[in-house]
Structure 1
Amino acid sequence: MSRDIDVLVLGGAGVDTIVHVPELPLPYADSHMIDPGIRTRAGQTGDFVALGLGALGLRTHHLDMLGADPEGDLVRALHRDHGIPLTEVPQPAGTKRAVNLVGPDGRRLSLYDATRAHPDDRLPEPTVRALAEASRHAHVSITQPCAHALPLLRESGTTISTDLHNWDGENPYQKEFALAADIVFLSTTALTGTPERTMRAIAERGRAELVVATAGAEGAYLLADDEVTHIPTTTPRRPVVDSNGAGDAFASAFLFGRLNGESPQRCARYGAVAGAYACTVPSTEVDAIGRDELLLQVAELEASTVAAPH
């Protein structure tokens, strides 16, 4: 069977309105003057992963539900401008949208519009099956239509990854994704106890061969071959302005390494470099590290590690 798509990205297409606030949590006031202004742009988790993969040279296809609305037009234009094929399924409730409050230190608080989805939302089975059977790998966002697509993805024989984001380690909704994926990404933000406990539980109860827990400025943790290792952060080459999209960039670069046969540790280094790069991109813009720049920075990082005294 021909696998002409490297990565099929399911879900996570939408639009964010970026609001820079003087601090988080935002103190109550009758009004706040917002500088550098308020901007609406296409780009949620699935969009960012798809663009990140495409920037690294992987043949990427995005599948999701979109509305016939201005927000959907922004998403369509984003994919068209970056050359990412997009298969859209009509969403009568409208394209997903959120408001992101961004503090001076780059931290983010997202407010998601829950009216843009319904419990009976589905991605058409023939479409999912056809795209999955043409793909080497599928990265699945944790939206309701994608949950129903998981059995079809497994049947297709493609490997699966997912990002649980700020899972608490217990919520059964995210757990379904965690146990169905071969590669699991999550944030340590909402975890109770050590990240290792949750990471091992995912691997023991599900199918995951690799589990990555990102911890912001503390780096990340990688579970591979029954061993948990710490992956330090890397220093970006430009000032840090925003953490928006860093986790998606990490996942994209990690998958790039995995699909190119790299070791889990090198995949994680790819992720750390790409995540650091994403932190230098303002949330009002869309940009992803390219293949040549990623390989150069990782090579320099590895050379400096070897040269450092022990």
Structure 2
Amino acid sequence: MSRILVSGLINIETTLKVDGFPLAYAPVRYPFFGVNSSVSGVGFNVSKAIKTLGHDVRFLSLIGQDLAGAMVRATLAQAGISADLILSALPTTAQSVILSDPSGKRQIHVDLKNIQEQVYPEESFDAALAGCDATVLCNINFSRQFLRRARAAGRLVATDVHTISRLDDDYNQDFMAAADVLFMSDELLPMPPEAWAAEIMARYAPQVLVIGLGAQGALLAVQRDRFVGRFPAASVRPVVSTIGAGDALFSAFVHGFVRTGDPYHALRQAVVFAAYKIGVTSAADGFLDQTALDRLCQDALD
């Protein structure tokens, strides 16, 4: 397998099950076994998924000098991910609260503390990049400075800009312009996904674009083949929570694309990987290894 550098957010995630949206007011609720806290964040979710699929991961992130930061380091050790490149540069670790209802709708509240004003040392990034085959640069501010450096070093750049609605999005356009593999969600798109894909490919020209369509699967655009097409969602076990489904789809696609160079095969397997992942509550759990993924993909075809 390959060595992949991941730069992204790690935070403490608290999930809360609700009956539905809008949330009706009540002074007290007792959602037994409906409140859970764990280590998550896009950078950690991707790192853990890619590690589970068999790659050597170099994970860069920033955490706090607090009890939550200690929890992060303990969780990384359990996952077999080195914390050598995780810097305790913040007073407090970022946190999120995610409300989800039985239909899969969710509302995410993210408290980044002061992480968006922080800079990760470029010399540490350059040292970590040596020997890596690809990079996943999540759209957190401290990753922005690495886009040019990764491209200059000739490394594949993959990024997910999540929910987006404008081609000239001020925050995300640097990430879109640098990406070889570009992911995003259809939730806020101002036009049908196929039309949006054509606009993105003409403006930013990534090698590969994937637009997550939720329960409808995903749309794939491949620059070299001038291909645009939809891949249906898979159903492999009961859905518990859709939190982290996009991160799982992204992680498994990067894994498959780096491994084979075939975006079509990579997305077919990524759809199954994400479908299995949403059978658990936490965004950072429910990941298959390669052997189990191959078996499940074969079962889905039979």
Q: Fold-level match, TM-score > 0.5?
A: yes
**1:136 maps to which residue?**
133
2:12 to 11, 15, 34: 15
Give CA deviations for 1:252-285 in whole Å, capped at 9, x if unaligned: 1111211121521111011100110111012287
1:231 and 2:223 are equivalent in the alignment: no
Partner of 1:307: none
After TM superposition, list the pairs within 5 Å mapping 1:22-171 onto structure 2.
22-86=19-83, 87-119=85-117, 121-170=118-167, 171=169
Amino acid at match of 2:137: V
CA shift digits 1:76-135 (9 cap, x unpaired): 12211011123112322422111111212232211011434243x111010111112321
May I ask how many residue pairs the two structures share in their alignment?
Answer: 298
Following the alignment from structure 1 to structure 2, what is the Cα–Cα distance between the partners of residues 116 and 102? 26
- CA change 1:46–1:285 in 2 (3 A) is closer
The equivalent of 1:186 in structure 2 is 184
The DSSP-based 3-state class of the residue aligned with 2:90 is coil
Unaligned runs of 5+ in 2: none
Distance across 1 between alignment mates of 2:154 and 2:141: 22
Question: Is residue 4–residue 136 contact of structure 2 (8 Å, CA) maintained in 1?
Answer: yes
Who is 2:198 aligned against? Answer: 200
1:202 and 1:216 mapped to 2: Cα distance? 19
SS in 1 for 2:133: strand
Q: Which residue of 2 aligns with 1:291?
A: 290
Seen in structure 2, the aligned counterparts of structure 1 residues 102 and 133 have a Cα distance that, compared at 3 Å, is same
Match of 2:299 in 1: 300
Deviates more, 1:131-140 or 1:88-97: 88-97
Aligned to 2:262: 263
Provide the rounded CA distance (Å) in 2 between the counterparts of 1:246 and 1:226.
27
Q: Which contiguous aligned blocks of 4+ residues in structure 1 show a shift greater than 4 angstroms?
A: none
Following the alignment from structure 2 to structure 1, what is the Cα–Cα distance between the partners of residues 189 and 241?
Answer: 22
Paired residues of 1:234 and 1:273 also in contact (CA < 8 A) = yes
- Which residue of structure 2 aligns with residue 173 of structure 1? 171
Q: Tell me the alpha carbon deviations over residues 20-74 of structure 1, each in whole angstroms, 9 at most, x when there is no partner.
A: 1121231233332222242221011111111111111111121011111122122
Cα RMSD after superposing both structures: 1.8
* Structure 2 Cα separation of the partners of residues 214 and 172 of structure 1: 21
Which moved further from structure 2: 58-67 or 165-174? 165-174
Q: Once the two structures are aligned, what percentage of the paired residues are identical?
A: 27
CA distance 1:95–1:166, shift in 2 (3 Å): same
State the partner residue of 1:247: 246
Q: CA deviation at 1:205?
A: 2.3
Name the CA distance, whole Å, in 2 between partners of 1:47 and 1:25. 30
Q: CA deviation at 1:203?
A: 2.4
**Cα 1:37–1:230 shift into 2, 3 Å:** closer
Tell me if the contact between 1:223 and 1:229 (Cα under 8 Å) persists in the aligned partners: yes
Distance 1:178 1:145 in 2: 16
The answer to which of 211-220 and 34-43 deviates more is: 34-43
What is the SS of the residue equivalent to 1:112? strand
Unaligned runs of 5+ in 1: 305-310
| CA spacing shift, 1:37–1:264, aligned 2, 3 Å | closer
- Could you tell me how far apart the structure 1 residues matched to 2:270 and 2:112 are? 30
